[in-house]
Structure 1
Amino acid sequence: MKTDFKFDNLLGTVYSRGNLLFAPDGTCLLSPVGNRVSVFDLVNNKSYTLPFAHRKNIARLALNPRGNLLLSVDEDGRAILTNVPRRIALYHFSFKDKVSALAFSPSGRHFAAGVGRKVEVWHTPSTIDVEDGQIEFAPFVKHRDYVGHFDSVWKIEWSSDSRFFLSASKDLTARMWSLDPEDGFVPTTLAGHRQGVVGAWFSKDQETIYTVSKDGALFQWKYMLRPGASQDKEMEDDNMQWRIADRHYFMQNNAHVTCAAFHAESNLLVAGFSNGIFGIYELPEFIMIQNLSISQNDVDFVAINKTGEWLAFGASKLGQLLVWEWQSESYILKQQGHFDSINSIVYSPDGQRIITTADDGKIKVWDINSGFCIVTFTEHTSGVTACEFAKRGNVLFTASLDGSVRAWDLIRYRNFRTFTAPTRLSFSSLAVDPSAEVVCAGSIDSFDIHIWSVQTGQLLDQLHGHEGPVSSLSFAPNGGTLVSGSWDHTVRVWNIFARTQTSEPLQLVSDVLSVAFRPDSKQIAVTTLDGQLTFWSVSEAAQQNGIDARRDVSGGRKLSDRRIAANIAGTKSFTTVTYSADGTCVLAGGNSKYICLYDVQSGVLVKKFTVSVNLSLDGTQEFLNSRLLTEAGPQGLIDEQGEASDLDDRIDHTLPGATRGDAAARKTRPEVRVSAVAFSPTGRAFCAASTEGLLIYSLDSALQFDPFDLDVTVTPATTLETLKQGDFLKALAMAFRLNERTLVRRVYEAIPVSDVALVVKDLPTVYLARLLRLVAVQADESPHLEFNLLWIEALLSRHGRHLKDHCGTFAAELRSVQKAVARIQSELARLADENVYRIEYLLAQPVGEDVREEKRLIVWDGVEADGGGDGNGGEVDGSDGEEGWMGLD
């Protein structure tokens, strides 16, 4: 089994805090998610996460006008400069203080950063020529410091000619600065607001300045004569100053302005308020165009794309991210992550979707290809603790603390069956028979295992035997055998379809936390509270192997820990375990920042994955920094907000209807942990539910250029020349050696249909896995249906014996091919079903000249109808495919 998994994507969280950015072309949205940056392609309906990670949560983002350089700054002022198209971190830099505002100039030559009370302007990193004719990369060169504010700078806005910029501050003022000294220009202070200024902008002609304060006041400033000054033209410059020309107020009752954005070309001002409402206003008349409620909590940030058509809103309290097209009044993007921690995850049988359940009572279905949540179920009234897929069909089962087990139809997206116990119980574990005939659930309130019939919904039986709460259940993949783990230090193996449901316990020395079946149903893996990972034979009821995993899972210390991370191994254990697709390895995670991959046969730790390096979470650092230790304890545990000037930041509004709240509420630090892990059915990826979201690790996320068996004669040019000469097998082998995706695809599609069988016949077996993977991907992505099927037929006909003898080696590739063929089959079957009635109808018509012409017009346009998306990343129910006509003589 290959183990070089790399971080591929982050799902489950779409926005946490910080500012949102539109790409210069307006098609992509950049959102800070914890210590990472996610990019949402709004046109192609895809999302991906940049591979770099900060050491703390990201506070500010800025993108240069060309859109190729991204500057991201965390809460401590440490910045990373990234090449966005290549997804490469270029440089690390520290501003040495917290950065509260960041903006590139329209010319792209400078960027300004609000660092505390001052504004620093830096040259944009670029290449420079030195005296010897050499070219050097100059990462960060400071231009100037601008000092004058008395409190934090909240917003920086440049003029369109990049000569001036405005800074809005918490000290109730906005100031205008010039990049370089200008004749007759003096830095100007715009004062008059009664609360902090959240934004300041130039109009398109730069003759007007707009400022918005937190209390909902909008001031319009113009350059005019001082009151009482003379009209003498010679003294005009001395008598002119920026003055308030008009005042407007938003009037949102008890709510205050949390964010605002201005689009100069269309004179649109968008303001977000603390009550979840946003308003769109046309300036300078201050005409309200729209006023809508999009959240129950603060709207933290708003951004406008370059054309002024799309508005992006971020609400950190509920993790909401919205893109609104205000002219058509429709959502372009509407996404929300889980409010509470994720409890369990499961892959769909086809490996294309991941289901997550959380303590907020929601069940979300995530599409792996797009990275978006396509549907959310909210029928559960309490935390959802477990989820499991039926092996056949699109049926999902979930267990909840509300005392119900529910079955979901993922084709029609509805709850079609609900199972309950005779007494009110909180279910914590779940298992489904492979045939989907029975479903079992365990509870922490009762020591019994409940079994229901899926067809009738009736309770069939209750299995007695455990003397403690049932913590984990698992069905054998071949059916018939159920294993259960309990806090009574035992694992029991049940044959639930036998006449008697007696079971012999497998005795362990500590509480059982999780059990998992190997894919061949002959072995189970058990994790216990004392940090042990043991493997048992099901048929012999004997232990085959054991691993002391306490040292592997331990790592990272909390701020309140008195011991270093290496000495707290006794308190660490794995809470979740799963087998790989081929059964040779197990993946385990727990209340730790590590995910461990073990080889089952030898018990060796193959690889250890670090979930997070985010210091904003507890348990990510190995040693505490002595500089952050004070007389009152670690600095991170001290509530520095104390006597905060903004009372709204301290009041806890968690109780419905509470207006005063708890002014003494304290904020707690989240702890890094892994609550669930799951392998993809293809074996090419696995996902882990962590504190930061749903992390996906994949074998296919490596760089495009990953050569093997390469020499100097193999280049893209020589490969294309070999292809031109008609040596197709050699050209294909050369393309595989270079492993450039576009080149491999070009060579693949250039091979004539008549030569496919010959190329496959002489193909060396070392390239067989790569060719199978390529054909499976092309069958999913390219429109050449028959061409791809001919390749699959030739590969299976010629190398079928070799594939069967080495099925373990090619398991992932064969699953991918099987999935592609099954999809093609289902689409063709659906196409035939859609057209058969039209053909019968037209054949039944009386034959005439008009009908003959009409019969030539039967066609279709073949839109896929799997549902689960409205083409814009929104969470919607499934939809039927569009139907059209098909040409037929």
Structure 2
Amino acid sequence: MKLDFKFSNLCGSAYKKGNLLFTPDGNSVLSPVGNRVSLFDLVNNKAETFPFEARKNIIYMALSPNSQLLLTIDEDGRALLVNFKRRVVIHRFNFKGQARVAEFSPDGTFIAVGVGKIVELWKTPKLNREFAPFVLHKKYSGHFDDITHISWSNDSKYFLTSSKDMTAKLYSSIPIEGFVNATFAGHKDSIMGSWFGADMKTIYTVSKDGAVAVRKFNFVESREEVEFGTYPKNERTGELLATQWSTIKHFYFNQGFAKVKCAYFNLNTQLLLTGFSNGIFALHQMPDFSELQTLSISKNKLTAASINPSGEWIALASSTLGQLLVWEWQSESYVLKQQGHINDMSCVSYSADGQYLATGGDDGKVKVWTASNGFCFVTFSNHTAGITATQFTKKNQVVVTSSLDGTVRAFDLVRYRNFRTFLSPTPVQFSCLAVDPSGDIVAAGCQDSFDIYVWSMQTGKLLDVLSGHEGPVVSLEFRPDGVQLASASWDKSVRLWDVFDRSKTVEKLSHSFECLAVTYRPDSKQLSTSTLDGQIHFWNVSNASQIGSIEGRRDIAGGRRQEDMKTAANSAFGKSFNSLCYSADGTVILGSGNSVNVCLYDVDTKVLLKKFKISSNFSYDGMHEMLNSKYMTDAGPIQSFDSDHDASDLEDRLDNSLPGAKTGDLSKRTKMQVIRARGIRFSPSGQQFAVASNLGLVLYSLDNNNLNFDPFDLDLDISPSSIKEMVKKSEFLRALVSSIRLGEHSTINLVYQSIPIDQIRLMVTQIPPKYLVRFLEFICIVFEKNHQLELDLFWINSILVNHGKYFETNTINTRPILRHVRKLVTQTRTSLGKLCDDNIFEIIRLSNSSIQRPEETLKF
């Protein structure tokens, strides 16, 4: 079992807070998700989360004009300088203040950073290694409140700053003869943004109260407009002519009491995009302020807006909903619409081929994700309360969910509908769910009547009610062979039920503490349970005897929360496993709970192999082992106060979430959440595992770019050069086996491409069986990257036909790789089918368009 799992993606969290960025080509959008950055490829329909993490939540991002450098700033003013193409952090820097905005100059020479009331101009670092990449060029002062926005002129000589002090200021990055700093006043509220016009004669400023001011650069005497940056001289005296900025016009959005929360101006197309606190966005064409579009896309405030360079797509985001939208305003259609669970994600499950994931949340929604691209393609909102469990049936066409609303529902993934609803005779709250391997039997446990209900999937009728537990049933699972059902309860017991033969006695596995989770090993010979004291117990299924346990309290324990009166060592919070899952081969087991840690244990030795920390975000509570007393006041932790005055407006402090509520908590405080991993699942192929948490769906995958080097069975004469000589001599079998033993990807690929296709079947029959799994792993790697589909499928078919008995007798070792092969083949078949259908429809369209009527035929 490989253990080098690495963070691969974050699904279910499209946006948290901060600004949005389009890449210079306009095909992708960057969105901050907590202390990470996600890239949504709008052309290839793929979502990617970068592997690096900031110390706290990212509030601003800036991308260099050549797309080489990405600058991220977190809540504490700490910055990360990232190589954008390689997704690697080059340098970490602290601006030592509340840095809220930063912009690269168009020529990439400077970075203007707003640190509180001061603007700091830094020279752009180079990609090569430097002792001090950030070199300060100059500091600019003049504002009396925090800076909210910075924008540059096209020539990179001037930049505009906007502030909460209701003014905007104009500065130059280098000394210029005749230039004088300018201040733009006249607004009655904070200025959200200021920009240069395309003609360099105009400046636009947008304030929070919905006013747009147009400023013109002209001569003082003649009032004639002149291009900014040129300072004409008097022909007779040689002195500079006096110039000034004049406010010539004001425009208003007329959105009632709604405030402007975000604004963006596209210099190329002269489009002004604004988002309001009532969920409405407005798109205007400047300079005449003609309204192009005004739409209401949400009931919550819009916190970020952006326009791609060509002006076709606009991106909008709402931090309250965690929603990200990309809208094509000309055709009035969505390019992208992603939204995670509004509340915490509570459970996750994989499909049988590992291609899809289903998640449930406390918001009552069920979402189905594609594991390969990280996008949600369907959302079911039939439940009216939190989801407690999700599970796929064997053929991946049905998702079954249980909820606290007293229903168990089955959703069809072909027609996207709720086709079956399972109910109990009396209203109960279902807390867990299990579906037998055939998909015909559905069982759900409840937390109030302590019973387990069993239904038929075909008819929807209640078949049986299993009684016996004396506490809430919190976990259910069918044995992989479908014969037995295990249930874990808070009555300190796990019961083993024979659903199909009630004449047998029910086995009871007693524990010393409340049971929280139960799971079977894939070979159906072992059962593991977790209890409230932080232990994992292992049981022999055949004789119901305990064969070992793991003490995991210290392994899974998190830090100390701010309001805890006890130290982290003495606190009982988050020191137990709420979810367990075996790997596909059954050699290791994963455990997670109300903690930031996920633990991976070896089943045979009961040893902790690896501990995964799903996040290092200090914006969440419980990340520190020790607390600093200077942050504690008589009124509570200082981090809970709104020190940034983000909720200074009345509409931000009102709570309208409850019907009839007119006022909320007018003394706004920030409640820091604790990171919790509430569900965990291994993919059937064993190449990936998913963690359902309040951060989103965190995915960890194996790095399959290179095969691991295996020194066993190696001879001194096996080397890349000797293998190349074997290929030249047409000793293909010897070269193939030697390259697999060597374990170098490039060498195996050389031999793989050199073997003639007519010799493959004969070659496969002579490969030693112990190398088949490693060779199939290599084929899976090249299957995803190259385009030799026929060659790869021919190899796979030959291996499965000639070595079928070996795979049947060694199911534990070969099952993960076979599931991975199945996933890739299914994925390829689906994409090819779609491509063929598109080609057929296109051919039919072209053939129909080429048919001419008899009277329209040309005569020569």
Confirm or deny a common fold (TM above 0.5).
Answer: yes
Q: Is the 8 A contact 1:481 1:496 kept in 2?
A: yes
Q: 1:675 deviation in Å?
A: 0.2
Q: 1:663 deviation in Å?
A: 2.0
Structure 2 residue corresponding to 1:194, chosen from 188, 199, 202: 188
Q: Is the 8 A contact 1:35 1:55 kept in 2?
A: yes
Q: Is the 8 A contact 2:654 2:664 kept in 1?
A: yes
Q: How does 1:365-380 map to 2 (within 5 A)?
A: 365-380=368-383
Distance 1:796 1:705 in 2: 21
Which residue number corresponds to residue 206 of structure 1?
Answer: 200
2:252 pairs with 1:249: yes
Q: Is the 8 A contact 1:173 1:190 kept in 2?
A: yes
Residues 237-258 of structure 1: per-residue CA shift (max 9 Å, x gap): 5642111111100001121111
2:316 pairs with 1:342: no
Distance 1:769 1:467 in 2: 47
SS of residue matched to 2:16: coil
Residues 503-550 of structure 1: per-residue CA shift (max 9 Å, x gap): 242211111111111112222111111212111222212211111211
Q: Is the 8 A contact 1:827 1:864 kept in 2?
A: no
Structure 1 residue corresponding to 2:149, chosen from 141, 145, 155: 155
Structure 2 residue corresponding to 1:591, chosen from 589, 594, 603: 594
Distance 2:326 2:843 in 1: 31
Which residue number corresponds to residue 616 of structure 1?
Answer: 619
Which residue number corresponds to residue 211 of structure 2?
Answer: 217
Q: Is the 8 A contact 1:212 1:219 kept in 2?
A: yes
Structure 1 residue corresponding to 2:474, chosen from 471, 475, 493: 471
Which residue number corresponds to residue 421 of structure 2?
Answer: 418
Closer, same or farther: CA 546–370 of 1 in aligned 2, 3 Å:
same
Q: Is the 8 A contact 1:715 1:738 kept in 2?
A: no
Q: 1:584 deviation in Å?
A: 1.7
Q: Is the 8 A contact 1:248 1:286 kept in 2?
A: yes
Which sits farther off after the overlay, 800-809 or 202-211? 800-809
Closer, same or farther: CA 289–404 of 1 in aligned 2, 3 Å:
same
Which residue number corresponds to residue 110 of structure 1?
Answer: 110
Residues 167-199 of structure 1: per-residue CA shift (max 9 Å, x gap): 111110111110011111111111111000001
Distance 1:580 1:39 in 2: 30
SS of residue matched to 1:603: coil
Which residue number corresponds to residue 862 of structure 1?
Answer: 836
Distance 1:721 1:336 in 2: 56
Which residue number corresponds to residue 778 of structure 2?
Answer: 774
Closer, same or farther: CA 864–506 of 1 in aligned 2, 3 Å:
farther
Q: 1:724 deviation in Å?
A: 8.1
Q: 1:763 deviation in Å?
A: 5.9
SS of residue matched to 2:155: coil
Letter in 2 for 1:775: I
Q: 1:827 deviation in Å?
A: 9.1
Letter in 2 for 1:302: A
SS of residue matched to 1:333: strand
2:798 pairs with 1:794: yes
Q: Is the 8 A contact 1:366 1:373 kept in 2?
A: yes
Q: Is the 8 A contact 1:12 1:693 kept in 2?
A: yes
Q: How does 1:421-500 map to 2 (within 5 A)?
A: 421-500=424-503
Q: How does 1:154-193 map to 2 (within 5 A)?
A: 154-193=148-187
Which sits farther off after the overlay, 723-732 or 468-477? 723-732
Closer, same or farther: CA 289–822 of 1 in aligned 2, 3 Å:
closer
Distance 2:843 2:36 in 1: 44
Q: Is the 8 A contact 1:559 1:637 kept in 2?
A: no
Q: 1:623 deviation in Å?
A: 2.0
Which residue number corresponds to residue 842 of structure 1?
Answer: none
Structure 1 residue corresponding to 2:669, chosen from 666, 671, 682: 666
Closer, same or farther: CA 41–732 of 1 in aligned 2, 3 Å:
farther
Aligned-pair Cα RMSD in Å? 3.3
Closer, same or farther: CA 779–62 of 1 in aligned 2, 3 Å:
same
Which residue number corresponds to residue 120 of structure 1?
Answer: 120
SS of residue matched to 1:773: helix
Give the TM-score taking structure 1 as reference length.
Answer: 0.87
Closer, same or farther: CA 124–181 of 1 in aligned 2, 3 Å:
same
Which residue number corresponds to residue 858 of structure 2?
Answer: none
Q: Is the 8 A contact 2:679 2:692 kept in 1?
A: yes
Q: 1:587 deviation in Å?
A: 0.6
Letter in 1 for 2:111: F
Closer, same or farther: CA 137–426 of 1 in aligned 2, 3 Å:
same
Which residue number corresponds to residue 839 of structure 1?
Answer: none
Structure 2 residue corresponding to 1:408, chosen from 408, 411, 414: 411
Closer, same or farther: CA 144–747 of 1 in aligned 2, 3 Å:
farther
Structure 1 residue corresponding to 2:402, chosen from 399, 404, 429: 399
2:56 pairs with 1:53: no
Distance 1:441 1:629 in 2: 45
Distance 2:263 2:491 in 1: 57
Which residue number corresponds to residue 838 of structure 1?
Answer: none
Which sits farther off after the overlay, 358-367 or 481-490? 481-490
Structure 1 residue corresponding to 2:701, chosen from 684, 693, 698: 698
Q: Is the 8 A contact 1:127 1:138 kept in 2?
A: no
Letter in 1 for 2:380: F
2:650 pairs with 1:647: yes
Q: Is the 8 A contact 1:117 1:147 kept in 2?
A: yes
Q: 1:735 deviation in Å?
A: 9.9
Closer, same or farther: CA 372–226 of 1 in aligned 2, 3 Å:
same
Identity %: 48
Distance 2:332 2:741 in 1: 49
Which residue number corresponds to residue 16 of structure 1?
Answer: 16
The gaps in structure 2 that reach 5 residues or longer are 226-232, 846-860
SS of residue matched to 1:108: coil
Q: 1:104 deviation in Å?
A: 0.6
Letter in 2 for 1:344: C
Structure 1 residue corresponding to 2:364, chosen from 361, 364, 371: 361
Q: How does 1:87-98 map to 2 (within 5 A)?
A: 87-98=87-98
Distance 2:517 2:736 in 1: 50
Distance 2:168 2:719 in 1: 58
Which sits farther off after the overlay, 656-665 or 87-96? 656-665
Q: 1:586 deviation in Å?
A: 1.2
Which residue number corresponds to residue 820 of structure 2?
Answer: 816
Closer, same or farther: CA 582–192 of 1 in aligned 2, 3 Å:
same
2:322 pairs with 1:319: yes
Q: Is the 8 A contact 1:300 1:315 kept in 2?
A: yes
Structure 2 residue corresponding to 1:269, chosen from 264, 267, 272: 272
Q: 1:446 deviation in Å?
A: 1.0
SS of residue matched to 2:673: coil
Letter in 2 for 1:125: P
SS of residue matched to 1:791: helix
Structure 2 residue corresponding to 1:328, chosen from 314, 328, 331: 331
Q: 1:809 deviation in Å?
A: 3.6
Closer, same or farther: CA 32–642 of 1 in aligned 2, 3 Å:
closer
> How many residues of Structure 1 are paired with residues of Structure 2 in the alignment?
833
Q: Is the 8 A contact 2:647 2:668 kept in 1?
A: no
Closer, same or farther: CA 536–749 of 1 in aligned 2, 3 Å:
same
The gaps in structure 1 that reach 5 residues or longer are 129-134, 832-859, 866-880
Which residue number corresponds to residue 754 of structure 1?
Answer: 758
Q: Is the 8 A contact 2:640 2:669 kept in 1?
A: no
SS of residue matched to 1:56: coil
Q: Is the 8 A contact 1:312 1:322 kept in 2?
A: yes
Which sits farther off after the overlay, 450-459 or 101-110? 450-459
Distance 1:380 1:446 in 2: 21
Q: 1:3 deviation in Å?
A: 1.4
Q: Is the 8 A contact 1:463 1:501 kept in 2?
A: no
Q: Is the 8 A contact 2:558 2:574 kept in 1?
A: no
Closer, same or farther: CA 884–714 of 1 in aligned 2, 3 Å:
farther
Residues 259-300 of structure 1: per-residue CA shift (max 9 Å, x gap): 111111211111111111111101111100111111221111
Give the TM-score taking structure 2 as reference length.
Answer: 0.90
